Amino acid sequence: MASDPTPERSLTKLVPLEAIFFDIDGTLCDSDPLHHIAYQDVLSEIGYNNGVPIDEEFFINNIAGRSDEEAAKNLFPDWDLEKGLEIINKKDVRYRVLASQNLEPVKGLYDVIKWVRERGLKRAAVTNAPRINAELMISKLGLSDFFQVVIIGSECERSKPFPDPYLTALKEMNVSPDHTFIFEDSPSGIRAGVAAGIPVIGVATRNPENSLLEAGATLLVKDYSDPKLWSALQELDSAEAKLKEKNA
């Protein structure tokens, strides 16, 4: 992009900060390429698209960030949902094999994890991934003892882009949306967070930046090493310190 369209809205209104929620796929780890490969494998087996592998644009526009049900409907609009979900389940099996061997954290992730730990903030993982996938990814990233709760979209009344998973996280963690923010990488996830009344930092790992902004991201960062993110976190720390001084 020629210029940075990020709205640069401050996070300081969130003090005192209580919690941070993280999506998993594409947010903690750059897993979309592995999902893409897994989809190409299982779809080629059934001759989907006349045997032509789905490209990245199709994957982003129809699959990435969606619930299994939404992905199945997008891929197989003329099929019974149950039949489509059988293909999605086969994809998940293939994905778990790939993830167990190739999963990598998004750049700078562990620096943010350290920042969160040091401040004693509550933290939840909130995802549309099946629980078996979510727990595998969290384990492979060494974060099993980091997240206090893992919220699964399909276990809520509605998955993202509806707010239900984030509303569930707020309730289970007993925190306010006015003192919480989210890291998300997809328009679907960002819309879910915004609908729950929580500011969202968009992590532009794969999805087009404009789509994240249009979904309502408060701040857009390339990854967790982005200077814009650390500037925002430093502002938060400063606002927290001023609040404590005022209340002392």
61 and 129 together in one domain: no
Residue 5 has pLDDT above 50, yes or no: no
- Pairing between β-strand 19-22 and β-strand 149-152 as defined by DSSP bridges: unpaired
Residue 151 has pLDDT above 80, yes or no: yes
Q: CA angle, 163 as apex, 157 and 158 as ends, to 5°?
A: 20
42 and 162 together in one domain: no
| Half-sphere exposure (Cβ direction) of 28: Cα atoms closer than 13 Å | 27
Q: Is residue 8 part of a domain?
A: no
Residue 142 has pLDDT above 80, yes or no: yes
171 and 54 together in one domain: no
Is 23 part of the annotated catalytic residue set?
yes
Catalytic residue among 4, 23, 185, 223: 23
Cα–Cα distance for residue pair 95/143, rounded to 1 Å: 19
136 and 64 together in one domain: no
Catalytic residue among 4, 25, 226, 237: 25
* 243 confidence band (pLDDT: 50, 70, 90): very high
**Token pair recorded at residue 33:** 């390429």
111 and 124 together in one domain: yes
Query: Residue 19 has what pLDDT?
Result: 98
180 and 225 together in one domain: yes
Q: Is residue 6 part of a domain?
A: no
**Averaged pLDDT, 5-9:** 52
Q: 43-79: per-residue pLDDT in tens?
A: 999 999 999 999 999 998 999 888 899 999 999 999 9
Q: Is residue 3 part of a domain?
A: no
**Averaged pLDDT, 5-20:** 82
**Averaged pLDDT, 1-25:** 78
210 and 151 together in one domain: yes
Residue 8 has pLDDT above 80, yes or no: no
158, exposed or middle or buried, with CB in 10 Å at 0-12, 13-18, 19+? Answer: middle
Q: Is residue 164 part of a domain?
A: yes
**Averaged pLDDT, 130-157:** 97
Query: Residue 94 has what pLDDT?
Result: 96
65 and 45 together in one domain: yes
**Averaged pLDDT, 213-234:** 97
| Half-sphere exposure (Cβ direction) of 240: Cα atoms closer than 13 Å | 14
Range of the domain at 37: 32-102
Q: Kindly report the CATH number assigned to the domain that includes residue 115.
A: 3.40.50.1000
**Averaged pLDDT, 102-114:** 97
- The mean of the pLDDT values for the chain is 94
127 and 202 together in one domain: yes
Q: 116-129: per-residue pLDDT in tens?
A: 999 999 999 999 99
Q: What is the DSSP letter of 174?
A: T
Given 75, 102, 129, the domain boundary residue is: 102
243 and 125 together in one domain: yes
Q: 154-203: per-residue pLDDT in tens?
A: 999 999 999 999 999 999 999 999 999 999 999 999 999 999 999 999 99
132 and 192 together in one domain: yes
Q: Is residue 5 part of a domain?
A: no
Is 25 part of the annotated catalytic residue set?
yes
